[in-house]
Chains A and B, each alone.
Chain A
């Protein structure tokens, strides 16, 4: 990031106060009082996040993020490694609860319901907001049991035949069925990395969540499997809300309706995908998508 001198200025609203903790932040025209540019709000929002700060112990990983996630839309989250994409994504189904010392401030709502209210049933929330993790984490069970896990714990299948059907459908949608149909009862951990990731996708969609959070779902996949997953995302987006983290610009451009650009824990810009990739508002976004750093 040393070439940052060329990156131009920040937003008009910035003050003179500079954050001393993030040493190189001032170099790239980013200041503490940064306000996200673009269209943070959206008409039919499924999830709204306002003033979200996330801390790991004393270290702040997310600074004052405001964003809406539209219903039955795909939002892509892009940004350099370590900028807090996964952290923010995990806060949307409260997976950060499992991390010791992780603290969240601000207000996140799903269908107007406060995610962090003490009255909220986390288990029910996670059934509604599914997640595919950055690293594939199949259970050490058979392929079949991996996919059947969600339907079983939520009692979605009345009969064994129902369950079989659900498993097959999920595996087909994740583009894995043909590869595993002859070995459904072998261990899921025996699959290749890319197959494991598709298994995790199948597992997540088997319970038909309303929102699916995908953290770099294609990072371990070949172009064919990636295309299959992108097709799936497109298909799912008619009925589901999807947030996808990706390092692949073309992928973000292909699958998403809106794109959010994160940088050093701040949300720099949210705009319709087309605009972000053709006419970004913020100079940092432009630098990133044109491949100048990140």
Chain B
């Protein structure tokens, strides 16, 4: 039986076990004189039985899924004569793949060596056996679990704490999955970055002021030695993000305060979703809006005042990006502001504070953690935003703090490094991982700072 079907079967068993356990508990309760005589309610006994029935079997199935493939292919390979392995360890893997492909009919059997075809048939046979045996075994385990749990049900059996504990472990398991995924991503990025730093020194990367990742592919090419100084990219990123935050934080926060504190309910009902639409517009649309409308407008405006604004500028990208992230700040802040209890506002108003004093001195401090969370989310969005910058701010890695110049950002460079055909071990490709790593570190540091800020200024209400 296929693993998915087996899983469904086991779940069905567990569901049945629930009813068996509950029925048994009900029966015992009747004999003992009502379910108050039981330590745990019949439902808990049901859940307990279901757990005993399902959990070991599912664990068994998981182990089988993880290991059976390896074990079987190892068995098949070991049965082949030693000469087939071409010496190196990679050859063994290749051969295993080839046999698996023949077994699944991906490679036609006709023009393969007979020994491999035989191995493929052996593989199929072993797989069949293993499937049937795991089906039988898991069913047995779940039945044994069911019978065992059912036989244990007595008025004294403490099912409730056991079920509670199993819920705790299930939640813990899910939390672990999330944490391990994060670590997995970090380690893979770290690993690739280390490879990159073998060809480009860390110091050159972090403190270098020039970014031109074109490397010579052939030896006779000239001029493209490649320099990987990441500073211009980070300066560009910070510049664009800073412009965006200068736009988004005041507007977002003020509109949140308006919506949460001053607006009439009916206004809020329409204005809030309308603001949130801003977050739903695809960034490509923002991008060409920035490139075709805002950037030329800024250039013309600059000319009128005698500034030279390049037709692709950090300012244009930042302004439009700021508009895009307004709802991240306004919506979250509005939610936390309305969640501040009315009794706090009443307390302040009853002291003779004006509405705005109440907002500034009581409501905002109480809502601060949520507001900071909204701002952090917006910053992450700004740093990660790519499309608007590609379109409105260009690809030139200029080292400049002037928002009227064209700049490029980390994410834009990652995209340009990885689009098209790439060699996976050239510094040019690996540089993307290093950029990603530094970007990750920066957002991590920002988050830590934000947490500190919140801790320092937080005013907790019950």
Q: Can you list 22 pairs linking A and B with CB atoms under 8 Å apart?
A: A95-B349, A95-B350, A98-B345, A98-B349, A126-B349, A133-B346, A137-B341, A139-B348, A139-B366, A139-B459, A140-B365, A140-B459, A140-B461, A149-B351, A153-B353, A153-B357, A154-B352, A187-B460, A189-B460, A200-B347, A203-B351, A204-B350
Bound-state CA distance A153–B365 (Å) is 16
Q: B80: which A residues are within 8 A, CB to CB?
A: none
B352 touching A137, Cβ below 8 Å:
no
Assuming the contacts A140-B344, A189-B462, asked whether A123 and B366 have C-beta atoms less than 8 A apart, the reply is no
Asked if B265 CB lies within 8 Å of chain A CBs, one says yes
Partner of A130, one of B343, B351, B357, B459: B351
Asked if B293 CB lies within 8 Å of chain A CBs, one says no
B344 touching A204, Cβ below 8 Å:
no
Asked if B354 CB lies within 8 Å of chain A CBs, one says yes
Assuming the contacts A139-B362, A141-B365, A189-B462, asked whether A153 and B351 have C-beta atoms less than 8 A apart, the reply is yes
Q: B182: which A residues are within 8 A, CB to CB?
A: none
A153 touching B342, Cβ below 8 Å:
no
Within 111-144 of A, Cβ neighbours of B (below 8 Å) are at: 123-128, 130-131, 133, 135, 137-141
Bound-state CA distance A187–B341 (Å) is 17
Bound-state CA distance A176–B459 (Å) is 22
Partner of A123, one of B342, B354, B461: B354
Q: Please, how many residues of chain B have a CB less than 8 angstroms from a CB on the other chain?
A: 24
What sequence of 0s and 1s flags, for each residue 236-259 of chain A, a beta carbon within 8 Å of any chain B beta carbon? 000000000000000000000000
Asked if A150 CB lies within 8 Å of chain B CBs, one says yes
B347 touching A127, Cβ below 8 Å:
no
Most B CB contacts (10 A, CB to CB) among A93, A139, A189 go to: A139
Expressed in whole angstroms, the minimum distance between the Cβ of B141 and any Cβ of chain A is 52
A204 touching B345, Cβ below 8 Å:
no
Q: B349: which A residues are within 8 A, CB to CB?
A: 95, 98, 126
Give the interface of B toward A (CB within 8 A): 265, 341-354, 357, 361-362, 365-366, 459-462
A140 touching B366, Cβ below 8 Å:
yes
Asked if A174 CB lies within 8 Å of chain B CBs, one says no
A98 touching B351, Cβ below 8 Å:
no
Q: B362: which A residues are within 8 A, CB to CB?
A: 139
Q: Which residue of A has the minimal Cβ distance to B459?
A: A140
Q: Which residue of B has the minimal Cβ distance to A135?
A: B343
Expressed in whole angstroms, the minimum distance between the Cβ of A248 and any Cβ of chain B is 23
Q: Which residue of B has the minimal Cβ distance to A124?
A: B352
Given contacts A141-B365, A149-B353, 7 further A-B contacts (CB under 8 A): A126-B349, A130-B352, A135-B343, A137-B346, A137-B347, A203-B351, A207-B351
Bound-state CA distance A93–B346 (Å) is 11
Expressed in whole angstroms, the minimum distance between the Cβ of B342 and any Cβ of chain A is 7
Assuming the contacts A95-B346, A133-B343, A141-B459, asked whether A100 and B352 have C-beta atoms less than 8 A apart, the reply is no
Expressed in whole angstroms, the minimum distance between the Cβ of A208 and any Cβ of chain B is 11
Partner of B346, one of A98, A127, A141, A189: A98
B365 touching A123, Cβ below 8 Å:
no
B345 touching A123, Cβ below 8 Å:
no
What sequence of 0s and 1s flags, for each residue 80-111 of chain A, a beta carbon within 8 Å of any chain B beta carbon? 00000000000001010010100000000000
